[in-house]
Amino acid sequence: MAKHPNNSIEVSEEGGVRYLHFSVDWIQGAMRIARPNALELAYTREMMAGLLLRQAPWPREALLIGLGAGSLAKYIYHKQPATKITVIEIDPQVEIIARLHFKLPDDPLRLRIIIGDGAHYMLEDGRKFDAILVDGFDKSGRAGVLDTLPFYQACRSRLTDNGLLAVNLLGHSRGFKASTERIASAFDGRSLVLPPCGSGNAIAFATGGDPVDVTLEQLISRAEQINKASGLNLTPTIERLQSSETLFQDRLLI
C-alpha cells in the first residue's frame, strides 16, 4: 500500500491565477481562472515539447506520474482529444483539490486517476505508453525514488516504439547533474535536457525506440500547427534550443 506524503496543501489566488502549494513557498501548480485549460507555468509548456519531436497524431496513450493542479492532464484532455490519459498520484487529497479548485475533468473513460505510488506502478503493470511525463515532488522539492536509475529503466520498458519520456528536473538543485546522468544511463545516452526555463525547471526527454530526427524547419512548422490548434506556444523552446547550440546542423537528434 502506498504511503501518502504528509503534505500541507494550500490553494491561493493572485492576479487572476489560482495556485496549488505543498508549502508556503513551493508552487506545485497554477491555473489562470480565465483560461483554466491553458498551461500557465512555463515548465508545464516545456513538458509538452514532445509534440515537436513526434509526428501528429501523438500520443495515443499518455501516462502522468504526479497530478498536481492537473494542468498537464487538462491540457491533454482538452487539446489532444484522441489521447487516453492515465494519472498516478500518491496523495488522494491532491485529486480532491484538483477536482474542487482546478476543474479537473471527470471522465474515467479518457482520464483515469489511480491513487498509488508511481514507482510501484511502473514495476507492477506492463502496459506501454507513447508519452510518460514525470512530475512528482514532495513538499521539500524532492523526487525520491522517482529520480533513480531503476525507475528510469522501468520507464524505458514501458514506452512504445515511438514513446518519449519527459521528466521535470530542478535545474538549480545540487543533484541536477546526477539526475541527467541517470536518465542518460537508463536510455543508453539517448536523452536531451532542455535549457532551464525562467523558473529554473529543466525538462529532460529520452527515448529507447524510434529515433528522434527533426529538422529546425520541421520544429518551426510543428510549433505553428500546435499553436494554431491549441494555443500552446512552443516557439520560445525552439529559440532556446538554438541559442544553447543543442541542434546539430539545424537538426535535433536523440
Which positions are annotated as active-site residues?
Answer: 135
Instruction: Give the DSSP letter of residue 3.
Output: P
**Pairwise CA distance, residues 183 & 56, whole Å:** 25
- Coil, strand or helix at 17: strand
DSSP string, 71-123: HHHHHHHHH-TT-EEEEEES-HHHHHHHHHHS-----TTTEEEEES-HHHHHH
Q: Concatenate the DSSP letters of all residues of 190-227 into one string.
A: -EEEPPP-TTSEEEEEE-SSSPPEEEHHHHHHHHHHHH
